[in-house]
């Protein structure tokens, strides 16, 4: 890593963001007219200057604009970003039906904020320091300054209560700046690149400020499960905030430096979860089916001498892409005689990238030297080993290349997703071609039927290439059909919809069963084995002042019995209550599977409740009971609920001020005396447990026990988000009431939940006739 000349100390790394940079903070009084605002480093247009000096704009091809374009038109949306031209100011304008709000950057901003901190510090750090990051205080100051500028632009155009979706690592401070200026906004952030493990992230001198900036969002999206986990771990290590699965409790009075909450003791829920991005698969396939593009694919092969096997690599010229590893493996295969230059040709597209950054200049020299050396050693007059191209191609030409290629090589050393892999799959409507894919690319989490490789393992990569070249036609077709189903089902529209569903809870939820939910229920009802898993309080039963008085609404028991009478259906209750309490209020049928205390207790077709606490946990329970009993006895309106592995402090009957005081005192005292406790915050309840478990853990246990093909889960509370996070692509999550959620569908109240259960039973019974 490199340091600036005056970087003898980094004590400025903990200064507040307000002291960095000269740009003004967002105006906390101004509001605009747009209900959806997208904020990204670049606008989705390219600037072209006419002969008369007038500005013209051409829409940039890209998955993000494809996904958001229809939504922004329908939602009165605006896009905030840099127009790609330095030192020029442009007024807001409309392009192809989308309102665009340009943010001005000068040459110094581009050098320090973009090429400096974003791409010479964050990019290598977030990609596992494949190249050494540089840490310069001047570039950090520029990063803060420009993030303020973007936040101010977004705050100025966002309508009251608008949704703002911020994109990528260049703008990680914007969510907090917006939160402070416009607390009325709903704010989402999506990180398109990896988020590194804590041991790597901790190297960043401004590590806490970045986390503080991101935690201004309501939902933070990542490409992979591991990325979201790395982020949550960094928050725990650096701030000590409570995390439960995908949920992070952020104190509302936090000042961003100490990790300490303010005087209220209140917290705000932040969801940090993976939302793997995708492509417009249908558009790529449509291009691939055009006769002119198919003819161009045949011409490409002819121009290359009609090799038996054409291999293709398509990358930005970046050190994260493993281009050198790919070339090395191919060269050794030629040297070993396992492949011959007469039979196999590699086409390598390496589009220019960040050419003013020294690391990229050196990389280009290295790659081009390797290509020249390999071609010099193995090419013949009529056959070239590597056809190398250092420039970009239009989308139509890329689709033709994908069609022409027998083998696609994606050997990234670290990649957030890698959409090239998905583009190749989407194009291959002929169900042919083989994808060789690095396990370090996010796409590997979804595209399991590719040949997965560790690109650092050169011998393993060589074997994978030979296997791809020699793969029988039937196996190629089987794998490609599976890959294509995955890409088609999870396209870019599904990605944006899932993120925005999690982000925007909506101010009101209509009564009844929505049409899209009914369609999903019809699909669910046809599964061979279905698990219907249900929270109780707030889902089957309305919330009441005294927990022991809760009862399911009229008709619920009959609906559950109708489900139990059907073959291939199991019903389970998944509750935070102790099982003894759940049995008292729910009075479940004997064949209903039960989990209580967030999965710590289970009763699965047995008369006994399974629970085993060790002596140290029993001692912690005694201490926990002593502390909470003391607090509850001194504050009116608070009650204690005893659970097998913990206790819950209920504040529903206390005044708002007294409830906050009781919860704050409980947190403070138990943090000192029992620092290892698991803490969960619900609606007017604070739960402490001596054993860590979530409703997501309970749901996985129920899925395994019941052997379910599909799972339906309904819940209303924060703790139910862990269960929603455990659902798979084919499962169905139902949120009861308002608020941000990971569930795919939403209804107003327990009344609708019972209607849903009746509907599932009727649909399944109808299918059985």
User: Is pLDDT larger for residue 294 or for residue 54?
Assistant: 294
**DSSP for 627-658, written as a single string:** HHHHHHHHSTT-EEEEETTEEEEE-TTS-HHH
Strand arrangement, sheet containing 243-244: 93-95, 98-102, 77-82, 34-42, 158-167, 186-190, 219-222, 267-274, 247-251, 243-244
What is the percent of the chain with per-residue pLDDT over 90, rounded to a whole number?
64
Give the span between the Cα atoms of 447 and 119, in whole angstroms. Answer: 28
- How far from 198 is each of 236, 257, 326, CA to CA, in Å? 10, 18, 29
Q: To which residue do tokens 């593009």 refer?
A: 293
Mean pLDDT score, 177-198: 95
**What's the confidence (pLDDT) of residue 62?**
62
Q: Can you say how many angstroms the Cα of residue 618 is from the centroid of all Cα atoms in its chain? A: 38
**What's the confidence (pLDDT) of residue 265?**
54
Tens of pLDDT, residue by residue over 274-293, are: 999 999 899 999 999 999 99
Give the span between the Cα atoms of 362 and 220, in whole angstroms. Answer: 34
Q: Are 50 and 56 in contact (CB under 8 A)?
A: yes
Token code pair at residue 199: 């041991």
Give the span between the Cα atoms of 442 and 435, in whole angstroms. Answer: 14
**DSSP for 452-496, written as a single string:** EE-TT-HHHHHHHHHHHHH--HHHHHHHHHHHHHHHHHT-HHHHH
Task: Indicate the range of 391-395, 471-475, 504-508 predicted with least confidence.
Answer: 504-508
Q: Can you say how many angstroms the Cα of residue 663 is from the centroid of all Cα atoms in its chain? A: 31
Task: Indicate the range of 163-172, 235-244, 315-324, 724-733 predicted with least confidence.
Answer: 235-244
Give the span between the Cα atoms of 650 and 660, in whole angstroms. Answer: 11
Give the span between the Cα atoms of 610 and 282, in whole angstroms. Answer: 50
Hey, how many other C-beta atoms are within 10 angstroms of the C-beta on 240? 12
Mean pLDDT of the chain: 88
184 burial (CB, 10 Å; 0-12 / 13-18 / 19+) is exposed
pLDDT category of residue 124 using cuts at 50, 70 and 90: very high
Residue 131 has pLDDT above 60, yes or no: yes
Would the CA dihedral through 672, 675, 680, 686 be positive or negative?
negative
User: Is pLDDT larger for residue 8 or for residue 178?
Assistant: 178
Number of helices (H) and strands (E), helices first, in the chain?
25, 31
User: Is pLDDT larger for residue 118 or for residue 260?
Assistant: 118
Tens of pLDDT, residue by residue over 356-395, are: 778 888 899 999 999 999 999 999 998 999 999 998 899 9
Token code pair at residue 378: 């193995």
347 burial (CB, 10 Å; 0-12 / 13-18 / 19+) is buried
Residue 147 has pLDDT above 90, yes or no: yes
Mean pLDDT score, 154-178: 95
Residue 504 has pLDDT above 90, yes or no: no
pLDDT category of residue 30 using cuts at 50, 70 and 90: low
Q: Are 401 and 300 in contact (CB under 8 A)?
A: yes
Tens of pLDDT, residue by residue over 548-557, are: 888 999 999 9
Name the DSSP letter for residue 116.
I
At 333, give phi and psi (nearest 5°): -65, -40
Give the span between the Cα atoms of 686 and 126, in whole angstroms. Answer: 36
Tens of pLDDT, residue by residue over 407-445, are: 999 999 999 999 999 999 999 999 999 999 999 999 999
Tens of pLDDT, residue by residue over 622-675, are: 899 999 999 998 898 899 988 777 889 998 888 888 888 899 899 888 888 888
Task: Give the residue among 221, 195, 214, 232 at the shortest CA–CA distance from 276.
Answer: 221
Give the span between the Cα atoms of 502 and 721, in whole angstroms. Answer: 10
Token code pair at residue 554: 């009229």
pLDDT category of residue 257 using cuts at 50, 70 and 90: very low
**What's the confidence (pLDDT) of residue 619?**
85
At 510, give phi and psi (nearest 5°): -70, 155
């Amino acid at each position: 890593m490199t340091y600036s000349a005056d970087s003898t100390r980094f004590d400025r790394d903990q200064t507040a963001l307000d002291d960095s940079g000269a740009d003004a903070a967002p105006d906390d009084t101004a509001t605009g007219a747009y209900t959806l605002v997208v904020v990204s480093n670049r606008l989705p247009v390219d600037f072209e200057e006419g002969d008369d000096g007038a500005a013209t704009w051409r829409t940039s091809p890209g998955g993000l604009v494809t996904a958001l374009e229809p939504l922004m038109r329908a939602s009165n949306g605006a896009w905030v970003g840099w127009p790609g031209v330095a030192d020029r100011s442009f007024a807001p304008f409309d392009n192809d039906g989308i309102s665009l709000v340009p943010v001005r950057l000068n040459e110094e901003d581009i050098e320090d904020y973009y090429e400096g901190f974003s791409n010479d510090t964050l990019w290598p750090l977030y990609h596992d320091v494949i190249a050494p990051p540089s840490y310069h205080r001047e570039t950090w100051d520029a990063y803060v300054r420009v993030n303020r500028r973007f936040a101010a632009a977004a705050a100025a155009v966002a309508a009251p209560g608008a949704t703002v979706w911020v994109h990528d690592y260049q703008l990680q401070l914007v969510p907090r700046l917006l939160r402070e200026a416009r607390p009325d906004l709903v704010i989402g952030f999506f990180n398109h690149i990896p988020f590194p493990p804590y041991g790597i992230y901790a190297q960043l001198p401004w590590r806490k400020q970045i986390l503080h900036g991101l935690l201004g969002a309501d939902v933070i999206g990542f490409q992979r499960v591991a990325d979201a986990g790395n982020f949550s771990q960094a928050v725990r290590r650096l701030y000590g905030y409570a995390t439960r699965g995908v949920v992070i409790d952020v104190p509302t009075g936090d000042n961003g430096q100490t990790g300490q909450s303010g005087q209220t003791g209140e917290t705000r829920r932040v969801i940090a979860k993976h939302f793997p991005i995708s492509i417009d698969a249908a558009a790529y396939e449509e291009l691939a089916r055009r006769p002119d593009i198919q003819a161009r694919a045949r011409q490409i092969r002819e121009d290359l001498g009609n090799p038996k096997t054409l291999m293709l690599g398509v990358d930005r010229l970046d050190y994260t892409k493993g281009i050198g590893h790919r070339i090395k493996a191919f060269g050794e295969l030629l040297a070993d005689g396992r492949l011959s230059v007469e039979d196999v040709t590699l086409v390598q597209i390496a589009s220019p990238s960040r050419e003013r950054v020294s690391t990229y200049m050196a990389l280009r020299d290295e790659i081009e030297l390797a290509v020249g050396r390999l071609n010099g050693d193995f090419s013949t007059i009529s056959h070239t080993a590597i056809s190398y191209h250092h420039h970009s191609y239009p989308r139509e030409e890329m689709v033709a290349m994908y069609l022409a290629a027998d083998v696609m090589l994606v050997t990234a050393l670290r990649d957030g997703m890698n959409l090239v892999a998905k583009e190749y799959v989407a194009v291959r409507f002929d169900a042919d071609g083989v994808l060789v894919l690095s396990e370090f690319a996010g796409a590997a989490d979804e595209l399991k039927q590719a040949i997965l490789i560790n690109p650092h393992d050169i011998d393993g990569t060589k074997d994978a290439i030979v296997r791809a070249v020699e793969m029988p036609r039937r196996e190629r077709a089987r794998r490609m059909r599976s890959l294509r189903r995955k890409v088609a089902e999870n396209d870019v529209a599904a990605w944006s919809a899932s993120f925005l569903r999690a982000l925007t809870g909506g101010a009101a939820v209509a009564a009844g069963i929505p049409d899209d939910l009914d369609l999903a229920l019809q699909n669910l009802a046809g599964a061979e084995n279905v698990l219907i898993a249900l929270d109780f309080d707030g889902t089957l039963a309305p919330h009441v002042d005294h927990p022991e008085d809760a009862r399911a609404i009229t008709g619920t028991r009959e609906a559950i019995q109708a489900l139990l009478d059907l073959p291939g259906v199991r019903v389970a209750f998944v509750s935070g209550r102790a099982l003894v309490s759940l049995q008292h209020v729910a009075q479940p049928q004997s064949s209903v599977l039960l989990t209580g205390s967030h999965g710590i207790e289970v009763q699965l077709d047995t008369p006994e409740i399974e629970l085993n606490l060790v002596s140290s946990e029993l001692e912690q329970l005694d201490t926990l009971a002593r502390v909470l009993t003391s607090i509850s006895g001194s504050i009116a309106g608070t009650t204690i609920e005893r659970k097998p592995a913990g206790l819950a402090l209920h504040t529903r009957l206390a005044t708002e001020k007294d409830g906050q005081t009781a919860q704050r005192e409980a947190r403070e005292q138990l943090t000192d005396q029992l620092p290892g406790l698991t803490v969960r915050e619900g609606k007017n309840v604070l739960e402490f447990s001596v054993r860590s478990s979530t409703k997501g853990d309970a749901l996985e246990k129920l899925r395994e026990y019941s052997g379910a093909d599909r799972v339906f889960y309904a819940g209303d509370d924060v703790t139910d988000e862990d269960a929603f996070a455990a659902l798979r692509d084919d499962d169905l999550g139902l949120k009861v009431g308002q608020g941000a959620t990971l569930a795919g569908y939403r209804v107003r109240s327990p009344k609708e939940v019972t209607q849903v259960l009746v509907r599932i039973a009727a649909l399944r019974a109808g299918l059985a006739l």
